Amino acid sequence: MSTTVSETRPKKDRTHYLYIAVIAAVLLGILVGLAAPSFAVELKPIGTAFVNLIKMMIQPIIFCTLVIGVGSVANAAKVGKVGGLALLYFIVMSTVALAIGVIVGNIIDPGTGLQLSADSSQAGQDAAADGHASTTDFLLSIIPTSLFSALTSGVVLQTLLVALLVGFALQRMGESGKPILNAITWIQKLIFRVLAMIMWAAPVGAFGAIAGVVGETGVDALKSLAVIMIAFYITCAIFVFVILGTLLKLATGVNLFKLLKYLGREFLLILSTSSSESALPRLIAKMEHAGVEKATVGVVVPTGYSFNLDGTAIYLTMASIFIADAMGDPLSIAEQIGLLLFMMVASKGAAGVTGAGLATLAGGLQSHRPEMVDGVGLIVGIDRFMSEARALTNFAGNSVATVLVGHWTKTIDHRQLDRVLAGQDPFDETTMVDDHATTPTVAEGEKALV
């Protein structure tokens, strides 16, 4: 036993140094971006390449996780209960996020005094062209062209739909479906091992991404729009630490800071790439290791990435108020509520993609208040920095949602969660596969629900 422990510790130490290297790469990227902006912009494709490497793993991981989870559960109604409760929670929390954004936005009046230039006006029109899409188009996009294209389309909800269908089919197959489940389990282990290999490129990717952003944006844009940026960061922090932290503690007894510490490396990855999607595979693996059943993780996490956009909701609220103030046409409370409820619906499916919040904002304004679209150009320069706060808030919201839904549906092993958050059962960075074998069995889960 002692030999095994001593053999595994060096691997964990090496991954620890990997994330120290990520921090160093981020700092170096900032320096290069400030010192040589033109050169730094040319490094941006390096960061894009790293994020794309991770994105290519997302759909296979979601498919394997959900098929294994759903296929192993005897009662299909259990999965439906998890999904229904998750969607209800997402709607409520999105509404709360919108309300907080409205309150803070009206208190600070962030856009007063700014002038709209011709270049800014054109930038707003360009963003609107990228973001315009109807709710019908979104719903139809959930259905893939074929069963197998759902694994390569880049649309997470397509993978979710096909994985649910396959999982339910394996339920109906009974014993004859077990060899298929075993095969998918081994495929999942392989996919997570490939992901662990990709993560060693994280310092290089973080350096390219941050250098490109700082080189493009520069310091001047940050200074002129500091008020809206700082206000947005503070609002996101209030939502995460006050609203989510209080809800998590009252509902489950779990300390938010311990959960965020457990997911610290994922937050660092998001900060360096400005995309919450880059941490999605790791969130799935870590939530399973923390004691949440595979079916619950497989339903809540991917669905949350499209429907639980707390940071994006706050951004849409404050950005709309900011633009209206800057254009000298402040919105009344009734107009704010109407516009933002419309944009909450329009934003579904925009998670994870860097810049999607800006496109959603512009597309929503184009459909609902076209006279305000030109004002979107005012925040194009700092959108990437606001994207980081959006991504971090969205990720925090989805991690908390997974624990809450697992608690409410009794599909979480609280003893395992306590051990993990206390540091007694470290996550295996080498395999990224949950092998603690203490997650509640199917039979135990069924009894708990009855």
> What is the per-residue pLDDT across 40-56, written as a single tens digit (0 to 9) for each?
888 888 888 888 888 88
Report, as an integer, the average pLDDT of 228-246.
89
Q: Which of 178, 297, 274, 173 is nearest to 217 (CA)?
A: 274
Angle of the 44-71 helix axis to the 178-198 helix axis, nearest 10: 160
pLDDT at 255: 93
- Indicate the pTM of the whole model: 0.77
CA dihedral 240, 245, 247, 249 (to 10 degrees): 170
pLDDT at 343: 66
Q: Which of 228, 259, 252, 288 is nearest to 107 (CA)?
A: 228
Between 279-283, 315-319, 337-341, the lowest mean confidence (pLDDT) is in 337-341
| pLDDT band at residue 367 using 50, 70 and 90 as cut-offs | low
Q: Is the pLDDT of residue 436 over 70?
A: no
- Please name every residue paired with 316 in a beta bridge, in sequence order, or none if there are none: none
Other Cβ atoms within 10 Å of 390 Cβ, number: 29
∠ CA 177-182-183, nearest 5°, is 100
pLDDT at 338: 78
The first and second tokens of residue 117, run together, are 């230039």
Q: Are 83 and 296 in contact (CB under 8 A)?
A: no
Give the chain's mean pLDDT.
Answer: 77
Report, as an integer, the average pLDDT of 26-49.
83
pLDDT at 445: 42
> What one-character DSSP code corresponds to residue 402?
H
Report, as an integer, the average pLDDT of 185-194.
87
Report, as an integer, the average pLDDT of 397-419.
92
What is the share, in percent, of the chain residues with pLDDT greater than 90?
A: 13
The first and second tokens of residue 270, run together, are 């998001």
Pick the CATH number of 2-449 from 1.10.260.40, 1.10.3860.10, 3.40.50.2020, 3.40.605.10: 1.10.3860.10
What is the share, in percent, of the chain residues with pLDDT greater than 70?
A: 77
Q: Are 144 and 150 in contact (CB under 8 A)?
A: yes
pLDDT at 438: 39
Report, as an integer, the average pLDDT of 352-381.
68
Q: How many residues does the chain have?
A: 450
| pLDDT band at residue 38 using 50, 70 and 90 as cut-offs | confident
SS3 102: helix
Q: In whole angstroms, what is the distance from residue 197 CA to residue 232 CA?
A: 35
What's the pLDDT tens digit per position in 134-162?
A: 556 667 777 888 888 878 777 777 888 88
Half-sphere exposure of 225 (CA within 13 A, CB side): 26
> Is residue 330 left, alpha or beta, with left meaning phi > 0 and alpha meaning psi from -120 to 50?
beta
Between 203-207, 235-239, 249-253, the lowest mean confidence (pLDDT) is in 203-207
Q: Are 58 and 281 in contact (CB under 8 A)?
A: yes
State the distance between the two ends of the chain, measured CA to CA, in whole angstroms.
40
Report, as an integer, the average pLDDT of 263-271.
87
List alpha helices for 36-115, DSSP H.
37-41, 44-71, 76-108
- Please name every residue paired with 292 in a beta bridge, in sequence order, or none if there are none: 412
Report, as an integer, the average pLDDT of 6-21.
59
Between 18-27, 121-130, 230-239, 439-448, the lowest mean confidence (pLDDT) is in 439-448
Convert 210-236 to b/e letters by CB count within 10 Å (16 or more is b).
bbbbbbebeeebeeebebbbebbbebb
What's the pLDDT tens digit per position in 46-83?
A: 888 888 888 888 888 888 888 887 777 666 667 778 88
pLDDT at 442: 39
Residue whose entry in the numeric block shows the structure tokens 């089919």: 169
Report, as an integer, the average pLDDT of 5-21.
58
The first and second tokens of residue 10, run together, are 């060096």
- Please name every residue paired with 412 in a beta bridge, in sequence order, or none if there are none: 292
Q: Which of 384, 320, 382 is nearest to 355 (CA)?
A: 384
Instruction: Compute the chain's Rg from CA coordinates.
Output: 22
Q: Is the pLDDT of residue 100 over 70?
A: yes
Most confident stretch, 83-97, 330-344, 397-411, 431-445: 397-411
Name residue 281's amino acid: P
